Structure 1
Amino acid sequence: MKKIVIPLILVLIVSCKQEKSIAYRLQDDVYFLASDSLKGRATGTDQELQAASYIKERMQGLHLKPAGDSATFYQAFSFTPKKDPHQEATYVHGDDAVTGTNVIGFLDNKAEHTVIIGAHYDHLGMGGEGSLYREGTAIHNGADDNASGVAVMLQLADSLQQKDFKNNNYLFMAFSGEEIGLLGSNYFAKNPTINLDDVTYMVNMDMVGRLREDKTLSVSGTGTSPIWKQVLNATNPGFKLVLKESGVGPSDHTSFYLQDIPVLHFFTGQHEDYHKPTDDADKLNYEGMQMITGYITEVIRELDDHPKLVFKKTKNESEEVPRFKVTLGVVPDYLFDGKGMRIDGISEDRPAQKAGLQKGDVVVQMGDSTVVDMMSYMRALSAFEKGNTTKVIINRNGEKIAVDITF
């Protein structure tokens, strides 16, 4: 009898160990969150709540403590949607309100300070406001934007528990309502479930799934603390870094910068599938995402025994953006660090396509204005109105070509 019982006990022990050792890959999280069944995870929908439930279960599996409202993983907020990402959110209650849900888990090391690590999980649903798709309604799965960021966040939650980083606590947050105005992060920043005075810095991952062959990685917020550039360069495993100082941008780190918290925002660049139904899970660079996960882990390691970071205000670059009445109909390459504005995508039936411009062309002059970067491109564009025609000079594979553009 004993010979039978002992093997049964061993089987139970082994099976329990196997259950505890289930490892989620980046692909597992992305493929679920960006599946057609979630219909684009629009804020306030049943499908967004399904995504929230999945993230909550992942956090429970990672042994994080609930850090939302009333000892749950959820922080719900009701609001009237706003179109401008930098406009003040109006939070309301009533039958006409939309309700979003942040998902929040806490790794409590009983430390004095806390690091916030976040990524938004909502997307555009079936399209509508914000979509660049012009052929009707369709599921916008948002694999890069931003299932990729959530997947990296969950990997970090796993990694930080397995490593001996005990000098800070870690708050992991999946934000709702980012696509319609940074609403979830804005709400948390004004209704925090922890003491924000204890927060040393915040890390945001938004669109980190399309790392290019040259490994270009944009990191914004590097001016929000004097130590950022030193740490980022010292721990860089081989990225071509594009560092941007401003703490203000069209993603959730802005909400924490406005609370005087040092921030970093990681971003692998826009692409032709941005805000379109074609932003699917099979197009992501998972090796690149793993490399980014390792990089952020090393940044955190470097700062593990560092005192609370000093906060520094930065220039608000968004306030300097010129207003313009016309567009070329292109997706700029925001990671391009050469002279000019490189085109990363062309919209159908818009001025650039009609003039024969192509992906990869670099705009170096528009009318009388020389274009050396994104800001000078926007200044040049702001001089034109609908119906104007001007000469645009592009650099295509080393050859300068002049074309006439009619707005």
Structure 2
Amino acid sequence: MKNLLFILFLMLFVACKTNSEEKQTPVTIKEDVTFLADDKLEGRQTGTDGEKAAAAYIASRFQSLGLEAKGTKDYFQTFSFKPKTDPHQEVNYTVKDGDSTITGTNVIAFLNNKAENTIIIGAHYDHLGYGAEGSLFRGESQEIHNGADDNASGVAVLLNLAMTLKEKNTGNNYLFMAFSGEEMGLLGSNYFTKNPTIDLSKANYMINMDMVGRLKQDSTLAVYGVGTSPILKHVVKANNSKFNIIEKESGVGPSDHTSFYNSDIPVLHFFTGQHEDYHKPGDDTEKLNYEGMNTIATYIFDIISDLDDNGKLPFRKTKNESEEVPRFKVGLGVIPDYLYDGGGLRIDGISEDKPAQKAGLQKGDIVVKLGDSLVTDMMSYMRALSTFDTGDKTKVKVKRGDDEVEADIEF
């Protein structure tokens, strides 16, 4: 009861602030993240009271910005599903009464500029609660996974863009969406594309923000989907003066933009990289780079501004890089630095009690050889890893500063 009262108080405070003082003191990105990643929401796992409180907060923010409700009931689009027992099976959104089902809630708002086409701007707001499937935490007790970077950061940037785009760049309408069920398999975005609340044939392109809260000192920003329309690569480059951009052409990836790419809609996905707190209790608000998030929001706004008079962007299919990923039976126990574009595979984190830790590998090491295979990039690393079975022994060679270090590995 105390948690609920706290949540209602904060929602009332923010609603009052945005309604009465918006022109003087708009809600900041940091304030939105602070609410969404508070312990009181208990990690926003899909279908829980914490996620429902987050949905209500986002809806109140949309309302305070004067955005039109575009769910199936007010700002909300609920969907019920039975959790998958096999990761390769289709999700059953049509369930019978009495089944052990979960209900997720997309939160959807519309900015109507009376334009022909609509830009979709999205970010998922669910996370892992006390450590649902997907958690990388190996502690003995349950702890709240607040998901400040994943993905309160993306929702906060979405809300900032909703505020900034009012009465600007009116060549398109805007649909703002906070997705549920992303952590369980892009369920909310997938459901929306099958049950849209607008005419998807009028969707111009889709922008997705997932984990944009930890911009590093080198200002590296990943932008995926630049190949999904011919103009996107140029626009991403032409509007950049702040970032070291890592581009990927593919419209397929482990976030909600994939659902829209699969509906033949051009996409851009923004991401500041994984880190040691990914899917762990340590992903908290004090570790975010709020200045970096504001800079990313401005950059996305500039891209939208540049495209405002370009009409409807043509869609182009891209090579699905995930189809080339080899299957492997073992893991090294490292978190790769997905934003590293040098030779080899740079380690961004080490998992507890895994082969890499036992071999003495460290964060920042660059894997250049695994067994007999040279490692030049992520794909060659995965190909090398796919040749090993549980119990195999081999050697790994890494660059550590100016030195090369060789270590024994047992899978």
Report if TM-score (shorter chain) is over 0.5: yes
2:155 alignment partner, one of 119, 139, 150: 150
CA distances 1:160-186 after superposition (whole Å, capped 9, x unpaired): 015x31110000000000000000000
Moved more, 137-146 or 82-91: 82-91
**Corresponding position of 2:41:** 38
Residues in 1 aligned to 2:133 and 2:240: alpha-carbon distance in whole angstroms: 37
Letter in 2 for 1:88: E
Query: Which residue does the alignment assign to 1:12?
Result: none
Counterpart of 1:9? none
Q: What do the CA deviations read for 1:219-248 (whole angstroms, capped 9, x no partner)?
A: 011111111110000000220000001111
Matched residues in 1 for 2:186 and 2:63: separation? 25
In the alignment, which residue of structure 1 is the partner of 2:191? 187
Matched, 1:225 2:243: no
- 1:27 pairs, out of 26, 30, 39, with 30
Distance 1:368 1:261 in 2: 42
Give 1:159's aligned residue.
164
Secondary structure of the corresponding residue to residue 76 of structure 1: strand
1:352 to 349, 356, 375: 356
> Do the aligned residues in 2 keep the contact of 1:200 with 1:261 (CA within 8 Å)?
yes
Confirm or deny: 8 A CA contact 2:19 2:64 kept in the other structure.
Answer: no
**AA of the residue aligned to 1:100:** G
Q: Conserved in 1, the CA contact under 8 Å of 2:273 and 2:338? A: yes
Residue 391 (structure 1) aligned with residue 395 (structure 2): yes
Equivalent positions of 1:324-403 (< 5 A) are: 324-403=328-407
Check if 1:62 corresponds to 2:65: yes
Counterpart residue number, 2:11: none
* Letter of the 1:222 counterpart: V
- Does the aligned pair in 2 maintain the 1:84–1:180 contact within 8 Å? no
User: Where does residue 76 of structure 2 map in the other structure?
Assistant: 74
Hey, what's the Cα distance between the residues in 2 that align with 1:364 and 1:41?
Answer: 39
Q: Residues 275-286 of structure 1 correspond to what in structure 2 (within 5 A)?
A: 275-286=279-290
Could you tell me how far 1:19 is from its partner in structure 2?
6.2
Aligned partners of 2:138 and 2:86: how far apart in 1? 21
Alpha-carbon offset, residue 83 of structure 1: 7.1
CA deviation digits over 1:13-60, x for unaligned, max 9? xx9864664411111000100000000000001110000000000000
Moved over 4 A (4+): 83-87
- Counterpart of 2:36, as a letter, is L
Q: 1:11 — aligned with what?
A: none
Q: Does 1:50 align with 2:53?
A: yes
Q: 2:94 aligns with which of 87, 92, 110?
A: 92
One-letter code of the match for 2:35?
Answer: F
Of 272-281 and 73-82, more deviation after overlay is shown by 73-82
| Kept in 2: contact 1:149–1:209 (CA 8 A) | yes
Give the direction of change, closer, same or farther, for the CA distance of 1:371–1:87 in structure 2 (3 Å limit). Answer: farther
CA distance in 2, matches of 1:181, 1:83: 12
Task: Indicate how the Cα distance of structure 1 residues 87 and 301 shifts in structure 2: closer, same or farther if over 3 A, else same.
Answer: farther
Q: Indicate if the aligned counterparts of 2:114 and 2:173 stay in contact, CA closer than 8 A.
A: yes
**Structure 2 residue matching 1:379: 3-state secondary structure:** helix
Does residue 138 of the first structure (1) align with residue 143 of the second (2)? yes
RMSD value over aligned CA atoms? 1.5
Q: Which amino acid aligns with 1:91?
A: Y
CA distance in 2, matches of 1:252, 1:104: 14
Displacement, 1:87? Answer: 5.4
| Matched AA of 1:181 | G
Q: Is the 8 A contact 1:87 1:181 kept in 2?
A: no
Contact persistence 1:89–1:186 (CA under 8 A):
no
Q: Larger Rg: 1 or 2?
A: 1
CA distance in 1, matches of 2:322, 2:271: 17
- Name 1:290's counterpart in structure 2: 294
Equivalent-residue separation in structure 2 for 1:20 and 1:81 (angstroms): 44
Alignment match, 2:10: none
- Consecutive unaligned residues in structure 1, runs of 5 or more: 1-14
SS, match of residue 348 in structure 1: coil
Task: Answer whether contact 2:37 2:43 (CA < 8 A) is retained.
Answer: yes
Q: Which residue in 1 is equivalent to 2:8?
A: none
Q: Distance in 2 between matches of 1:79 and 1:19?
A: 38
Q: What is the distance in 2 between the residues matched to 1:223 and 1:19?
A: 38
Task: Tell me the secondary structure at the aligned position of residue 69 of structure 1.
Answer: coil
Aligned to 1:238: 242
Matched position secondary structure for 1:326 = coil
Could you tell me how far apart the structure 1 residues matched to 2:46 and 2:259 are?
Answer: 18
Distance, in Å, in 2 between the alignment partners of 1:83 and 1:260 is 29
TM-score (norm 2): 0.93
Q: Report the Cα distance in structure 1 between the residues aligned to 2:379 and 2:309, rounded to whole angstroms.
A: 39
Q: Given that residues 40 and 140 in structure 1 are in contact (C-alpha distance below 8 angstroms), is that contact kept between their aligned partners in structure 2?
A: yes
SS at 1:179's partner residue?
A: helix
Identity percentage over the alignment?
Answer: 65
Q: For residues 194-273 of structure 1, what are the structure 2 equivalents within 5 Å?
A: 194-273=198-277
